[in-house]
Amino acid sequence: MRFRFDVSLYIIVPVIFAGLAALTSTGSFRLTAYLIHRGAEPGWPLLAWTLLMTGAGFACGLVIVRLFLKPVSEFVEKARRLTPLEAIEADPVPDEGGDEVRRYSRVFDRVTRVLSRVDARQQFPEIIGQSRAMRAVLAQIVKVAPTDGTVLIQGESGTGKELVATSICQHSLRQGRPFIKLNCVAIPEGLLESELFGHEKGAFTGATSTQKGRFELADGGTLFLDEIGDMPLETQAKILRVLQEREFEPVGGSRTIKVDVRFIAATNKNLDDLVSQGRF
């Protein structure tokens, strides 16, 4: 394998350079000879010129390959000895039996993974997890955070959905603005609409004063609705209007309130199944 690798670098590449030089010199010389002598054979001058250009092309290719290979080889050897590479990964770089191409590929892949982990730790220090799946989640956070689109986070209970929502908010254009959270399961069904939309004084028993809802409190910022899969259907329909029109009326009121809110929702339920069951 080492021989095939050496041939590909030290022979094939210079030969390609030499071939290109030979074709260029032959074509240019023949064209010149045709124009000057109207087709007369150039003879030995053409052969000497072609050999000279071929040799120069081969030498140029060899020098380029050597200049490229030396720093790459030094980098790979240093990367193989880095402590983090063996400390973070469970599988050290194996000996490929002289297969330089495969060994270089493994080392470069390892270095790329290490750099991505370091970057993830710097951007999301509050999120613990460096697996491939978790890095994919972090990559999605980086993509969606700068946008202003609605985000749905799905996952089992205890997997850190709220941390993901917080990270999206912290890396968004609305950073520093209100970030309001509401767990839809923690609020009794009869009070959920009041918590979301607010209410006017006297709207129901115990409403002794006007109160702003979470939508209005989050105006200009982000609203995180956790466990949205457990929300009653009637409330879902009213929230849909807010998502589409960005406006609502508080409970017991007739005035329309317009808001500028980014929505992030989370659930541990399979929403597709809930939709098929008519529950979402």
In a domain, 118, yes or no: no
In a domain, 136, yes or no: no
Contacts of 90 by beta carbon, 8 Å cutoff, 6+ apart: none
Q: Which of 97, 121, 155 is the last residue of a domain?
A: 97
Shared domain check, 268 and 185: yes
In a domain, 28, yes or no: yes
Shared domain check, 229 and 154: yes
Count up the domains in the chain and report the number.
2
Shared domain check, 152 and 77: no
Specify the DSSP class assigned to residue 159: S
CA distance 226 to 150: 14
Shared domain check, 261 and 177: yes
Determine the straight-line distance between the first and last CA of the chain, rounded to whole angstroms: 59
| Residue 152, pLDDT score | 94
In a domain, 156, yes or no: yes
pLDDT in tens, 35-93: 566 555 555 665 666 667 767 767 776 677 666 766 666 666 665 655 444 444 444 44
Coil/strand/helix, residue 274: helix
Shared domain check, 153 and 93: no
Shared domain check, 163 and 77: no
CA distance 127 to 168: 12
In a domain, 112, yes or no: no
| Residue 220, pLDDT score | 94
Contacts of 101 by beta carbon, 8 Å cutoff, 6+ apart: 1, 5
Shared domain check, 189 and 87: no
* Cα angle, residue 187 at apex, residues 182 and 189 outer, rounded to 5°: 125
In a domain, 194, yes or no: yes
Token pair for 267: 């659930």
Q: Which residues of the chain have pLDDT under 50?
A: 1-7, 83-93, 96, 98
| Residue 234, pLDDT score | 86
In a domain, 135, yes or no: no
CA distances to 172, 174, 177 from 147, rounded to whole Å, are: 7, 10, 15
Shared domain check, 262 and 161: yes
Shared domain check, 153 and 81: no
What CATH number is attached to the domain comprising 247?
A: 3.40.50.300
Q: Which of 37, 66, 97 is the last residue of a domain?
A: 97
Of 127, 131, 122, 120, the residue nearest 88 (C-alpha): 131
Shared domain check, 182 and 70: no
| Residue 140, pLDDT score | 85
Sign (positive/negative) of CA torsion 27, 29, 35, 37?
Answer: negative
In a domain, 198, yes or no: yes
Specify the DSSP class assigned to residue 7: I
Q: Which of 76, 97, 118 is the last residue of a domain?
A: 97
Sign (positive/negative) of CA torsion 127, 133, 135, 139?
Answer: negative
Contacts of 236 by beta carbon, 8 Å cutoff, 6+ apart: 280
Shared domain check, 87 and 11: yes
| Residue 100, pLDDT score | 54
| Domain that residue 248 falls in | 147-276
Shared domain check, 268 and 163: yes
